[in-house]
Structure 1
């Protein structure tokens, strides 16, 4: 390895991250995506149903769903999300050598693109992609608020958990990019209130009215009829095993989560360590907030971070996929950082030092960690 690579290790980290991404993908496609696959089998055949929009769209094009479609759709979503992030980072910070440490610590984070590869087929990435698109779109008119509301409603139809996972971040982006820049008028205030009510009502409908109304046997039979490969004996068995997802009330989900709480809490030190490895990003985030020109802007940004974090705390109490929640929480903070950098600042924030030894060590550790996981760390 030449000395030039060691002089600028952040470029080398980019290459290692690319190799790790490929490795995670190759490992992922060896696993059976049972739950993501079942989601593609569920549509609106029996009426309004939670978690059914993607399956309903698939049903418009084919009656039989192959397993490879999970990886095809998930892979396409990942490529779009990665492309949007690179475009956003280039617009916000630039992709020159000085910004490489920040780019590596974000794009190469095991919380972010690498974990989205590992959770390929799950619906988290759609929320991230929507938020990235909203950070790139013009935000001057109320059309931006309406677009954000409609996108949030689509996310809830995809999976109602987006109401806590990405809708608060989308709301923060709308406030930071539209309302703080354009000011609060009667028109955009009314649009905002109506949009928030519409999103909230749709979430309540999905949560409490989207439960499957037919007997489980009928639901399972319909889902099994959409399997493309009838020789796969494992698929009908897993469809039967996971059919409870579309029948289980919220109270039971919360009980299941709290039953698993003691063992899941054992992962908190690992999550804390992973969060600490990103401390250069968090310090840069804090400084970016501190130099905002307006004290009101600073307070609203802090309130937005608190709101998003509080939504994830509620999520922690309700559903036990802790590694996913921690990873998406960090991704949401990355997104809010970009929104903060679009606000007027009184001075320039010093970049993350490329030659600081501690920061470089953190960068290598973050680079070499392939992903965080779904429920427990790793």
Structure 2
């Protein structure tokens, strides 16, 4: 039995990854949920407000918000995302032995589910969740484009930074699964263009008109009234972010830049660890049957990457951004796999270098929020 395990260690890696996930979860629930908790308290009580959609939905069900709700909602979102990703992988590739290394480098990546566990309660995972939904449902009709637009609007209302974080990936999925696969008809192109404009307007409204109009003391007093555990008022220390203008966020980011740039070599190393996955992605693009598709896919990846570079210049949560960028590439890879193409050689399961990289990826518990680890 042991010999069989070591001859094909990829299944053992997945078991180890599950144990690592449990460890990350136990560590996470011991930490105070500063930013995630306050997002559950903020709603539209004072009018249209940025970052308030989730809190507004919570307010429909309860007037008092306990701290444990952060982990309950975040855990539910994590479980749904993980389950849907498994279903997506099964549909796109299947779980034959030859595709297990690919699954390990995605599902076991410290960029993906493990980092979402570490950032439990943050809003990043909702973008990933809705993007996976768009990868699973049929993309034949105009309704698909409208649904993607609605998902994008929801994400911007959850947090306007999704315009850069997951909306470009959602647009890429629509382009690859709908427009390239079923043709760019005049009506669908018009609807897509109008949707992009509408989402852009919504972002501007959230960014520049979603700031609190009441004094901060009044705002914090209202949030305290919604807390189920008022003595934990220290969890409201991030109330200032509903008053902070974009210029201040950019200034803070650039002031922290010299220190945060020290993490770049670590990010490069983590990206390098996924070399087998990137090489498979490249082979997949080269195998596309249509010349135009081989040009469009790199352009799509470039646009998504550019959005993240802009985000890097504006907000300093670098570990989260680099992790979500990698997740976006994982999802785009699934969309590319649906396009007509020749057969592609999978990651070599018995290659010693691939196995070594797989073990390192599995054993890294997370990437972090601001700085690596």
Equivalent in the alignment of 1:236: 233
Q: Is 1:349 the equivalent of 2:347?
A: no
Counterpart residue number, 2:195: 195
How far off is 1:237 after superposition?
3.0
Partner-residue secondary structure (3-state), 1:62: coil
Structure 2: unaligned runs, 5 residues or longer? none
| Structure 1 partner of 2:309 | 313
SS in 1 for 2:369: coil
Give the number of equivalent residue pairs.
373
TM-score normalized with structure 1 length: 0.98
Partner of 1:8: 8
Q: How is 1:144-159 mapped onto 2 (pairs within 5 angstroms)?
A: 144-159=144-159
2:222 match: secondary structure: helix
CA contact (8 A) 2:320 2:370 kept: yes
Q: What is the CA distance between 1:102 and its match in structure 2?
A: 0.3
**Mapped pair 1:214 → 2:214:** yes
Residue 160 of structure 2 aligns to a residue in which SS?
coil
CA contact (8 A) 2:37 2:235 kept: no
Deviation string 1:157-213 (CA, Å, 9 cap, x unpaired) is 001110000000000000000000111111101111111111111011100110011
Question: Once the two structures are superposed, what CA deviation does each residue of 1:37-69 show, in whole Å capped at 9, x if it has no partner?
Answer: 011000000000000000000000111000000
Q: How does 1:1-378 map to 2 (within 5 A)?
A: 2-230=2-230, 232=231, 235-239=232-236, 241-345=237-341, 347-378=342-373
User: Aligned partners of 2:2, 2:270: CA distance in 1, in Å?
Assistant: 30
- Unpaired stretches in structure 1, ≥5 consecutive residues: none
CA shift digits 1:314-356 (9 cap, x unpaired): 00000000000000000000000000000001x2110100000
Partner Cα distance (1:26, 1:53) in 2: 28
The 2-side partners of 1:285 and 1:367 are apart by: 20
Q: Deviations for 1:238-283, whole angstroms, at most 9, x for unmatched residues?
A: 41x3111000000000000000000000000000000000000000
Question: Cα deviation per residue 1:118-167 (whole Å; 9 max; x = unaligned)?
Answer: 00000000000000000001000110000000000000000111000000
Whole-angstrom CA distance in 2 between matches of 1:298 and 1:223:
51
CA–CA distance in 1 between the matches of 2:239 and 2:17? 37
Q: RMSD of the alignment, in Å?
A: 0.7
